[in-house]
Amino acid sequence: MPRTPRSAALAALCFALAIPILAVCAYYVVPLRLAEAHVFDWLSSLEYTTPTSYQYTVYGHVARAITFFAEPVPLLIVVSLGCAYAFVRRRPADALAGVVVVGGANLTTQILKHVFAHDRAEPFLAHVPDLTTFPSGHVTGAASMVLALIWAADPGRRRVAAWAGTTYLFLVGVSVLVLEWHFPSDVLGALAVTGAWGFGVLAVRLWSAGRKPPPSGRRAGSRPVADQLDDLGHDLVDVEVLRRVDAGDPGRP
């Protein structure tokens, strides 16, 4: 995890640059395009009992249940509750960071869907999603929600929140493939969008934390009173030792 504004900003830039690179690879690099189309075809076969029946299998039902919280309304409710919790716990900066990431990442994804709209039909695919699948809106929603909830969680529980959120995000990524909503590159593109916003907000927070003035009543660089008294005691002992040496009595004080 970046600990300086510069490293966090660099990570955000890398994620942002990955977005057009993924789009180019998915659309114009033929081996990669065919490979992900085959993955899409195999995973999408899990949704229905037969290619023509449209009767959902257990995989299809589970996949739809998993993606429910990545839909706009449930997503808004969950994020609102998480940010409200952070605000009540007197951590408004964490709440604001979550709101910015969720709003910014999802708005960016909706814009990029139209910027990168492209026909991705292949002869062997029985079904092809529409033109505006890159990046995935569901994965963007899930990833940004996970980041917001990690920030909203109490500091001592963020590790658990991160593991739980990562697991849920993985399941959403697989589910949108099973449901024939997206190609694998759409999932990676959504993660890149969310990563760019997440590290961008982190860079701003680290930069802001470095500019905060020291607490009132203490000068910058001052240390706790206990440390100052300890140093004062050592100084007094050194003075006593020097006095005894000058007096010809080098014994311990």
CB atoms near residue 72 (< 10 Å): 11
From the list 173, 128, 137, the residue with the least C-alpha distance to 33 is 128
d(CA 44, CA 127): 9
**What are the φ and ψ backbone dihedral angles of 183, each rounded to 5 degrees?**
-90, 160
Could you read off the pLDDT tens digit of each residue along the chain, which spans 253 residues? 788 999 999 999 999 999 999 999 999 998 998 888 888 877 766 665 555 444 467 888 888 999 999 999 999 999 999 999 999 999 999 999 999 999 999 999 999 999 999 887 777 776 777 778 999 999 999 999 999 999 999 999 999 999 999 999 999 999 998 888 899 999 999 999 999 999 999 999 999 887 766 555 444 444 554 454 445 455 444 445 445 545 555 554 4
The answer to whether residues 160 and 17 touch, using CB atoms and an 8 Å cutoff, is: no
Could you tell me if 197 and 53 are in contact, meaning their C-beta atoms sit under 8 angstroms apart? no
Q: Which amino acid is at 176?
A: V
